[in-house]
Amino acid sequence: MMMGKGKWTALMWIAIAELFALSLWFSASVTGAELRELWNLTVLTEAWLSASVPAGFIIGTLISVSFGIADRFNARRVFALSALAGALINGLLIVADSAMIGIALRIMTGVTLAGVYPTAVKLLSQWFPSKRGLALGILIAALTLGSSLPHFISLLFSSVDWKLVIVVSSLLALAAAGIMNWVVKDAPTSPQKTIFSFKLIKQVLLNKPVMLANYGYFGHMWELYAMWTWLPVFFAASFASSSSQISPEIISLASFVSIGIAGAIGCVLGGMAADSLGRSRLTILSLLVSGSCSIIIGFTFGQAFWLTLLVAVIWGMFVISDSAQFSAAVTEFAETPYLGTALTFQMCIGFLVTIFSINLIPVVQNLIGWEWVFILLSIGPALGIVSMVKFSLYETGERSEK
Annotate 18-70 with DSSP letters as a single string: HHHHGGGTTTTGGGHHHHHHHTT--HHHHHHHHHHHHHHHHHHHHHHHHTTHH
Q: Strand (E) positions, 198-264?
A: none
pLDDT at site 332: 84
Segments in the chain below pLDDT 70: 1-5, 131, 158-160, 190-194, 243-244, 397-402
Is 144 in the same domain as 60? yes
**Residue whose C-alpha is closest to residue 288's, from 322, 247, 262:** 322
pLDDT at site 136: 82
3-state secondary structure of 118: helix
Number of domains in the chain: 2
Residue finishing a domain among 141, 163, 193: 193
User: Which residues form the domain of 51?
Assistant: 1-193
Q: What radius of gyration do the chain's Cα atoms show?
A: 20
Residue finishing a domain among 127, 161, 193: 193
Is 85 in the same domain as 123? yes
Residue finishing a domain among 157, 173, 193: 193
pLDDT per position as a tens digit, 327-369: 888 888 988 788 878 888 999 999 999 999 999 999 999 999 9
Is 187 in the same domain as 216? no
pLDDT at site 1: 38
Is 139 in the same domain as 256? no
pLDDT at site 2: 43
* Range 371-377 contact pairs with CB under 8 angstroms and sequence separation of 24 or more: 371/298, 371/299, 371/301, 372/298, 373/298, 374/227, 374/230, 374/234, 374/294, 374/295, 374/297, 374/298, 375/294, 375/295, 375/298, 377/222, 377/223, 377/226, 377/227, 377/291, 377/294
Is 222 in the same domain as 179? no
d(CA 169, CA 167): 6
Is 91 in the same domain as 51? yes
Is 74 in the same domain as 216? no
Global pTM value:
0.91
Is 347 in the same domain as 220? yes
